[in-house]
């Protein structure tokens, strides 16, 4: 096949490109320039897609012996990922920009352009496995290396996108990938993994949001309120600095009567109210989801598991889907999840990725959470 290898400048994507070429595919390496500032530079492991990373990707492509190009997708990235991130936080939700990037950029915009140019598939360094099911559909499963498994952030991919995707590292463990990179002479063999949000250089999400939102911020401050008593415990400088389940940085100054720590339970961006309370009040066992994305056939009812954070635990769950007035034939965009294993600190805006065993069924954006009487 003619394959586009998305090369971030890290070890995983470099080895994935090398494996695709070694398998006999006609491989072309591409690096996505996602920053609107061409002089963007950041050393070390925080983030990705900088000039430093572009140079690392180019050197890896030279070693592998494949053509290499840089694609400027900064406008698409800013609109689909950065603006979405700001809008979600301004509305009091907690988004995952990596899922949105995979959905809108890496496996939508890139794949669309690649298919138009005559390529057959996009290969990435994600840790996930693809298999053909008994029904002939492409299934996505968890990676062999569960510690590096990235199927959660790929849960937004559709059957059409999976049919044009390659994940060469899905059957490998990370330590072996680094050793392979070293054997291949790739300079990125021991480059630290990227982490945090790629477009926030210093990891200070709250500070970045204050600067970027400016007048778009829903409020410039408000009350921190105790859930049980309604008492105002303190003031804050903006709801975008908080997320459900947060414990640190509340700066209340007064301990709870029982001496236990308080956690953020709710965020109301219009009034600026941040509600806090005990940890047990974070427990939920009901989730409503919208904007569902399905990797294959849409299930009406499924008993499986859901993962609610990128590196979170699996929760046994019962999942039901329903159709809204806007849903097309064969689509379901409303999801109700009953958690048989309750979860804590789950915020609207996060993704609930649904599994049947190791197979990814699909995902939904969490719109609301609740507690049944059994948890009250």
Place of tokens 């309120």: 225
Q: Which of 48, 49, 98, 198 is catalytic?
A: 198
- The H or E element spanning position 339 is strand 334-344
CB 42, CB 201: distance < 8 Å: yes
CA–CA gap between residue 114 and residue 193 (Å, rounded)? 27
Q: Which of 48, 49, 101, 295 is catalytic?
A: 101
For the chain, the distance separating the N- and C-terminal CA atoms, rounded to the nearest angstrom, is: 56
> Minimal CA–CA distance to 47: which of 9, 84, 73, 81?
9
> Minimal CA–CA distance to 323: which of 311, 338, 335, 308?
335
CA–CA gap between residue 16 and residue 187 (Å, rounded)? 15
β-strand pairing of 301-307 with 232-236: unpaired
What is the edge-to-edge ordering of all strands in the sheet holding 222-226? 232-236, 222-226, 273-277, 263-268
Handedness of CA 50, 51, 54, 56 (dihedral sign): negative
Q: Has 48 been annotated as catalytic?
A: no
CB 60, CB 19: distance < 8 Å: no
CA–CA gap between residue 319 and residue 339 (Å, rounded)? 9
Q: Has 101 been annotated as catalytic?
A: yes
Catalytic residues: 101, 198
């Amino acid at each position: 096949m003619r394959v586009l290898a998305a090369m971030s400048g890290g070890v995983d994507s470099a080895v994935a490109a090398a494996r695709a070429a070694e398998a006999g595919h006609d491989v072309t390496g591409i690096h996505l320039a996602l920053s609107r500032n061409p002089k963007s530079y950041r050393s070390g492991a925080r983030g990705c897609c900088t000039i430093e990373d572009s140079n690392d990707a180019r050197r890896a492509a030279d070693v592998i012996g494949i053509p290499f190009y840089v694609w400027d997708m900064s406008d698409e990235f800013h609109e689909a990922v950065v603006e979405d991130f700001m809008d979600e936080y301004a509305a009091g939700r907690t988004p995952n920009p990596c899922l949105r990037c995979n959905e809108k950029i890496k496996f939508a915009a890139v794949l669309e352009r690649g298919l138009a140019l005559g390529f057959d598939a996009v290969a990435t360094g994600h840790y996930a496995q693809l298999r053909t099911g008994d029904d002939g559909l492409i299934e996505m499963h968890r990676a062999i290396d569960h510690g590096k498994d990235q199927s959660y952030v790929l849960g937004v991919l559709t059957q059409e996108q999976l049919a044009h995707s390659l994940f060469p590292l899905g059957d490998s463990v990370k330590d072996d990938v680094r050793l392979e990179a070293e054997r291949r002479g790739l300079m990125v063999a021991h480059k630290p993994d990227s982490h945090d949000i790629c477009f926030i250089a210093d990891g200070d999400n709250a500070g970045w949001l204050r600067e970027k939102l400016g007048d778009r911020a829903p409020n410039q401050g408000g009350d921190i309120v105790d859930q049980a008593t309604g008492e105002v415990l303190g003031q804050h400088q903006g709801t975008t600095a908080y997320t459900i389940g947060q414990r640190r940085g509340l700066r209340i100054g007064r301990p709870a009567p029982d001496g236990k720590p308080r956690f953020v339970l709710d965020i109301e961006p219009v009034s600026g109210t941040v509600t806090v309370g005990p940890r047990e009040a974070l427990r939920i066992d009901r989730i409503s989801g919208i904007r569902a994305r399905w990797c294959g056939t849409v299930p009406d009812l499924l008993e499986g598991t859901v993962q609610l954070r990128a590196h979170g635990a699996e929760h046994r769950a019962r999942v039901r889907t329903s159709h809204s007035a806007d849903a097309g034939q064969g689509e379901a965009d409303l999801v109700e999840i009953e958690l048989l294993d309750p979860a804590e600190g789950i915020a609207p805006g996060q993704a609930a990725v649904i599994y049947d065993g190791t197979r990814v069924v699909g995902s939904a954006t969490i719109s609301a959470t609740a507690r049944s009487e059994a948890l009250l």
